[in-house]
Structure 1
Amino acid sequence: MRRAFLLMLLLSLLQGALAYAALGSSPSNFGTAPVRQGARALATAGAGGTAVYTVSQSTLDSGTVVREYMNAEGVVFAVSWNGPALPDLRTLLGDKFAVLTSTAAKRPKAGHSQLAVEQQDVVIVSGGHMRAYAGHAWIPGTLPAGFDTSVIE
């Protein structure tokens, strides 16, 4: 009995250690191996062609696709999700999750399937219905120079 209790405690601690904030820090770990889509250069050929951001794509067990946009230092400045289930937004949004929950708490519940937050330090758009969720978020102050937010898939 004691071993079972210690095992459950250890597993719960490991689970918390595996999930770390994405938006504004390192990429998330959803327990799946991310599929690197490669670098997408914003710079034109005249600027040396170096990539100013990369996109990491993960497909969760639920079938939801999560994309994390990282700058050259590996810091996530934007995220997006699309699929049949919401990803763990607490993990994906990191400390910006509190902004989402406080905004959602102020809204009437009936008839609203989309939530949009636009603040100086974060933009979050989330919407959908059962089996069809989508959203994206970014931190305006961390976007690479010339990054167009309309390219966030």
Structure 2
Amino acid sequence: MRRAFTLMLFLSLLQGALAWAALGSSPSNFGTPTTQTKLAARSLAATTQASDAVYTVTQSTLDSGTIVREYTDASGVVFAVSWKGPTLPDLRTLLGDKFTVMTSNAAKRPKAGHSQLAVDQSDVVIVSNGHMRAFAGQAWIPASLPAGFDTSTIE
């Protein structure tokens, strides 16, 4: 019995470790393959073919209905993320080490009446807003953006 409990604990910790990826690293695992849709690779030049794509957008729909998009460069590193839906995704997982930047900036703000957070630093840009049942946000690493990438295209 003790051995089975230890094995279950180990497997649950391993599962959490496998899902740990974020902005600036490899794509996250937000669900089973049935809840993830890999969107077509996008290219910055309209005349290039999909094989010459500069980045790929992976969309995951969480059980809550929240849509998470991860923008991955050709080397497989996430350079931007976005979310929109009735609940916030696990921002600690989605933002990785940039999560502390967000929380430290949020702690400096007065709490009353503010539903938007905007962080614009040289190493990360985070914009998050919303209220109960309607959250949206996006984050990106300016130095990791592909040449010519327009951040207004982040959905």
- TM-score between the two structures when normalised by the length of structure 2: 0.91
8 Å contact kept, 1:32–1:58 = no
Matches of 1:58 and 1:48 in 2, distance apart? 25
Runs of 4+ in 1 over 4 A off after TM superposition: none
**CA apart distance, 1:43:** 1.8
Percent pairwise identity: 78
Matched to 2:149, the amino acid is F
**CA apart distance, 1:12:** 3.7
SS at match of 1:40: coil
Matches of 2:98 and 2:19 in 1, distance apart? 15
Q: Deviations over 1:59-101 (max 9, x none)?
A: 0001000000011111110000000000000110011001011
**CA apart distance, 1:2:** 2.6
**CA apart distance, 1:11:** 4.3
Gaps spanning 5+ residues in structure 2: where?
A: none
**CA apart distance, 1:4:** 6.2
Q: How many residues align?
A: 152
Q: Deviations over 1:29-52 (max 9, x none)?
A: 11232201111111232x566210
Equivalent positions of 1:126-137 (< 5 A) are 126-137=128-139
Matches of 1:112 and 1:44 in 2, distance apart? 40
Aligned mate of 1:55, from 51, 54, 57? 57
8 Å contact kept, 2:31–2:60 = no
Matching residue of 2:123? 121
Equivalent positions of 1:12-31 (< 5 A) are 12-31=12-31
- TM-score between the two structures when normalised by the length of structure 1: 0.92
Residues 5, 48 of structure 1: alpha-carbon distance in 2 compared, 3 angstrom cutoff: closer
Aligned mate of 1:36, from 35, 38, 55? 38
Task: State the superposition RMSD in angstroms.
Answer: 1.6
